[in-house]
A and B are shown apart, each in its own frame.
Chain A
Amino acid sequence: MAGGFFAAELKHSGYDKVILRGKSPDWVYLWIHNGKVELRDASHLQGKGCYETAELIKQELKDPKAQVASIGLAGENRVYFASIEVEKSSCSRLGVGAIMGDKRIKAVAVRGTKDVNVAKPAEYFELCTTMLESMRHRLDNPLPGFDAMLATLGPQALSHSDDGFHIDNFAWGNARERKKGHWTKEYGEKWESDQLQSMERHISCYNCPVKCGGIIKHPTLGRFPMKCYSKLTYPMAAYADLDFGFRMIGIAQEHGVDGYTAPQVMAFAVELYEDGILTDEDMPGFPSDNEERHFWLMEKIVRREGIGEVLADGVYWAARRIGKGAEVYDHNTIKKNEQMFIKLGTLNPMYYLLYATGEKLTITQIEGGVPQAPLAPEDRKAYVKDWVQIPTGKEERFKQFVLEWGDEGKKAPFWPDTDLLNELVEWQEAMHYIDDATGVCAGVSSFMPKPPYHIHNYPLMLSAATGIDFDEDKLWKLAARNRNLVRAINIRRGLKKEDEHPPDDHWKKRFPEFEAELLDNYYKFKRWNDQGVPTREYLHELDLDYVGEDLEQRGFLKSVEEAEA
């Protein structure tokens, strides 16, 4: 998933998806133009940055309106956290850029001038108008009690510079320590002035009024567009300031790396060096200056040069390749991928399940809908007042949860009861799967509290747009099919129950037996077996018998005869 303009251009070109099979012997790029598809030589683009590549391709095609998705050095060198950059957005997580690099596809360029038709025009337009109004309402009326980042729509990291909540509460370095009180008046002023000096314009993705992105103008790097949260990930991992963040992002986006994982990998390397596990012998020429170290590491990683060869595999694999005790420094990964750099006090059972069973490997792509923490008593009523997003039949219980959460005896970890907990978790993840299937941004839907898109208006919009009748149940089933298909694929790829474990230090106070109980209950609720594999019976109900057969043949599910025996 990515924002920007690429997907819309592809649709206007006559395609919904591009599937790349096999590998090219030489570097090529794919050019899709109103139904014509060709592979073109890209040998002259090897080694170029993502944005540089996009510009060169547009010049070569003499089509400034073409949209280009490209990889940089990181993708070319199959860095495990390489991104695919589309102008002003990116597909960042899980190394999708490395897959393009492996196939030697430097870029995909598209241009389309065809119509995109809808089935019921008048009905659809009316729904769109209502949607516009609800977005305008939220943008004009921030939710009380929420951090500026989440109070309106889309993570608003660039529309404000009041980042005290994250600076004080999220972890610095290699997801290592919280620095309570770090956000002082002076610090905040410097942070704000860095942002105001660099931000030239707020920008949006295709046909969206929410301004999540920005144009950054930097004295040395020129202008580049960026989106939200990496403004915090790079500075906090490097114990640096926002000016460093912007400088690093400009470079990182050209190289094409994930702004979520890359800072943590570099912080991990710095920590290993400081503790003597990595030495000058491993890292000849490693600078002494803190900021320089991070720029140095970035260049090594994207080229897989020297220590970069190892670090390019991400913290989990790098720790095991380095050895000498480096494994214990891998303390913030789940399912072999870096998680949000946050360390908290007491186990939160809802987040425990979201982290443990989530398969998108970024908490921000799983959570949403339910406030991240108990609201202040005065804000609770306002929150539940017009909370129309709740699935049918669950309204009263979900509202009651928000009204009570945080009261005496109604706190983590042993509250709420398992049934309610499971339903809250399932609802949040289901909305993300629906967004992914429809191509709607989580910033106006699943990630946001009380978002404009929800389980009740989604079916209406889908029906009017496609002419296929949808209702809440049908959409819910569709989300379940996707959810279980993804799970089945991951199980085939080696996902095990023991992988469903949030980092040991994610919360200070843990309850191993209780956590095991939570997980088993959730598996049952999801109709997965005790190892977390979807059952044959459930897959049958989802019209996924072929998936059940496959899992059985591969030995992940017992056959009916075995089960009876």
Chain B
Amino acid sequence: MKKVKTIKIDVDLCNGCRACEVACSAFHAEPKYSSTNPEKSNIRVLFDVKRNLYIPVMAGEYTDAECMGRDQYIIDGTEYDECTFCRASCPARDVFKDPDSGLPLKCDMCEEEPPLEEPLCVKWCITDALTYVEREEEEEEEEKLDDVEIGLEALANKHGMKKITDTLARLSMSKKGEYV
């Protein structure tokens, strides 16, 4: 079993104060707590008064391509586009990118030694829109790939397995004797 750290977000309780952004950027500043800058925060509150939309979102994985087409959700009469809830640092929008370097940002749950009781954004959210939950999850047995397999898998993803095996066959024929 492995522990999964989760931040539960109750959007109805969010008061849009952005204390989570301030606390996160202070925690991740170098040296620690030496500056604040919401733009460098790994959590952002996406809000729009006209739609009563107050949604804290934690930065997730980086993606180098934006989605083709977008979904739209209507919840209680309010329209949300898919990006509203998306955690990706993505070319389609300017959140979750360090304003100085352009590098993607990603939430690390405030990992440090000794560990904090809860991520700092949760601690500073005294309206309880953010709460910290640890849950246990079955660990899937995962075979560790070696470097060659990782490389081949990437090539197979890009060009298709058939092309890889054909190329390997051709290479082994034409370069016979050159490789040990």
Contact = CB atoms under 8 A, between A and B. Distances in A.
Interface of A: 5, 12, 55, 64, 87-88, 113-118, 121-122, 124-125, 132, 135-136, 139, 200-209, 211, 215, 217, 222-225
A115 B36 contact: yes
Contact of A223 (B16, B17, B34, B52): B52
B49 A88 contact: yes
Contact of A225 (B19, B31, B49, B127): B49
The DSSP consensus for interface residues of chain A is mixed
B128 to A, nearest CB: 10
Contact of B18 (A64, A206, A224): A206
Contact of B35 (A88, A117, A135): A117
Contact of A113 (B29, B37, B54): B37
A101 B138 CA distance: 64
Contacts of A87: 49
Interface residues of B, number: 29
A115 B18 contact: no
Interface string B6-28: 00000010011111001000100
Nearest to B125: A209
Of the listed residues B15, B26, B40, B48, the one surrounded by the most CB atoms of chain A closer than 10 A to its CB is B15
B153 interface: no
Contact of A207 (B17, B49, B99): B17
Interface of B: 12, 15-19, 22, 26, 29, 31-40, 48-52, 54, 99, 124, 126-127
A113 B39 CA distance: 6
B26 A136 contact: no
12 contacts: A115-B35, A115-B40, A117-B34, A121-B26, A121-B33, A122-B33, A203-B15, A203-B17, A204-B17, A207-B17, A208-B19, A223-B50
Contacts of A132: 124, 126
Contacts of B48: 64
Contacts of B26: 121, 125
- Residue from A88, A125, A211, A217 whose CB has the most chain B CB atoms within 10 Å: A125
B33 A207 contact: no
A139 B16 contact: no
Contacts of A215: 49, 52
B34 A118 contact: yes
A209 B19 contact: yes
A223 B49 contact: yes
Contact of A202 (B15, B29, B33): B15
Contacts of A217: 52
Contacts of B17: 203-209
Contacts of B127: 209, 211
Contacts of B99: 113-114
Nearest to A136: B126
A203 B18 CA distance: 11
A72 to B, nearest CB: 17
A444 to B, nearest CB: 12
Contact of B50 (A114, A201, A222): A222
Most buried by A among B12, B40, B126: B126
Given A139-B126, A209-B126, A222-B50, A116 B16 contact: no
A201 B18 contact: no
A124 B124 contact: no
A115 B29 contact: yes
Q: In this complex, which of B35, B49, B126 has the most chain A Cβ atoms within 10 angstroms of its Cβ?
A: B49
A207 B15 contact: no
Contacts of A225: 49
Contacts of A117: 34-35
Contacts of A125: 26, 32-33
Given A114-B37, A121-B32, A225-B49, 11 more contacts: A12-B37, A113-B99, A115-B35, A118-B35, A121-B31, A125-B33, A132-B124, A132-B126, A201-B54, A206-B17, A222-B50
A473 to B, nearest CB: 28
A206 to B, nearest CB: 6
Nearest to B37: A115
A-B interface, 10 closest residue pairs, ranked by CB to CB distance from nearest: A204-B17, A113-B99, A121-B33, A115-B35, A125-B33, A113-B39, A121-B34, A204-B15, A209-B126, A115-B37
A12 B18 contact: no
Contacts of B15: 201-204, 209, 211
A116 B49 contact: no
Nearest to B39: A113
A217 B52 CA distance: 9
A166 B18 CA distance: 32
Nearest to B44: A65
Contacts of A64: 48
B133 to A, nearest CB: 21
B126 A135 contact: yes
A464 to B, nearest CB: 10
Contacts of B124: 132
A136 B125 CA distance: 10
A157 to B, nearest CB: 15
Contacts of A209: 15, 17, 19, 126-127
B55 to A, nearest CB: 12
Contacts of B35: 115-118
B52 A201 contact: yes
